[in-house]
Each structure stands twice: as C-alpha cells, then as structure tokens.
C-alpha cells in the first residue's frame, strides 16, 4: 500500500512542478530524485505525465527558446542551456538572431557604431557573452 502512496506522491509532486512551468524530462527527474523518490517511481510518474501530454520536451524547448530570445540571448547560449536541460532536438531557424544582436547592441551602446578598436572589442565581448555567433556580432557592429 505504501508503494501506491509513494507513486501518487511522486506523480503529484511532478504535476505541481509542471503547473508552475514547463520542465524537461531531465529537470523533472533531477528534482524528483532530490525529493528522495525512487528511480522506478520517477520513471513511472514521468511516463504517465508524457502519456497524458502534461510533459513534453518539445513544448518545453519551444517555450524556453522563446523566453531566452525575449531576454536577448543568442543561439549559442540557448543551445548550451537546452542541452544542459537534456534537450538535444530543437529548432532555432525561425528566430532572427542577426536582428536581435543588433537590437541588443543598440539598446546597450546606442545606435552609432563604435569608432575605435577598444570600444568595438568591448561591444563584441558583450554580444559574445550573450551567446551570439561571430557572424551575428559582425553584422550587428555594422551600422
């Protein structure tokens, strides 16, 4: 009888997490494991959630990408963050990272292109730290 209670508890805990926001399978597994649930309980709960369409890595990835794009993050940063969350299959092709890099640069440093090497390097490092690729950075530096 305790197994059923634990299974329901694991499932209920996972549902509470998913109600707050989407989670990848890896995130759910890690969080449930941290709550001391048994691996087989975790697996059963996650399989049930997937079957009921309450958990979807594809939906998680789409929401995550949109959120990070809106935060001004580039494709390298988004890709790394997704892979850390157990997502290997995702599509960034619908997002214009060239325009985003330019918008982010202009918002931070103004419309004028940098006029000296030191300022240009500073702006390039900033965009690089945001996860933009070199071609996107170079395009954003042109005015």
Task: For domain 2-55, give its CATH number from 1.10.10.10, 3.30.110.30, 2.60.120.10, 2.60.40.10.
Answer: 1.10.10.10
Per-residue pLDDT of 42-71, as tens digits, reads 999 999 999 999 999 999 999 999 999 999
Per-residue pLDDT of 8-44, as tens digits, reads 699 999 999 999 999 999 999 999 999 999 999 999 9
Task: Give the CA count within 13 Å in the CB-facing half-sphere of 58.
Answer: 2
Helices (H), the chain: 2-20, 25-34, 39-51, 57-70, 75-84, 97-109, 117-129, 134-141
C-beta pairs of 86-89 under 8 Å, 24+ apart in sequence? 86/24, 86/25, 86/26, 86/27, 86/57, 87/24, 87/26, 87/57, 87/60, 87/61, 89/57, 89/58, 89/61
CA–CA distance, 48 with 44 (Å, rounded to integer): 6
Q: Please give the pLDDT value at position 142.
A: 83
Residue spans per domain, the chain: 2-55, 57-143
pTM over 0.85: yes
Q: Span 94-104, mean pLDDT?
A: 97
């Amino acid at each position: 009888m305790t197994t059923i209670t634990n299974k329901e508890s694991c499932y209920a805990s996972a549902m509470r997490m998913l109600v707050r926001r989407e989670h990848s399978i890896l995130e759910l597994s890690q969080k449930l494991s941290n709550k001391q649930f048994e691996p087989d309980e975790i697996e059963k709960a996650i399989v049930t959630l997937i079957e009921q369409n309450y958990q979807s890595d594809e939906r998680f990835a789409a929401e995550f990408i949109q959120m990070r794009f809106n935060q001004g993050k580039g494709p390298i940063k988004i890709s790394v963050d997704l892979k850390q969350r157990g997502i290997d299959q995702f599509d960034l092709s619908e997002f214009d990272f060239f325009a985003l890099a330019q918008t982010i640069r202009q918002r931070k440093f103004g419309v004028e292109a940098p006029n000296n090497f030191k300022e240009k390097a500073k702006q390039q490092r900033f965009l690089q730290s945001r996860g933009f690729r070199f071609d996107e950075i170079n395009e954003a530096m042109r005015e």
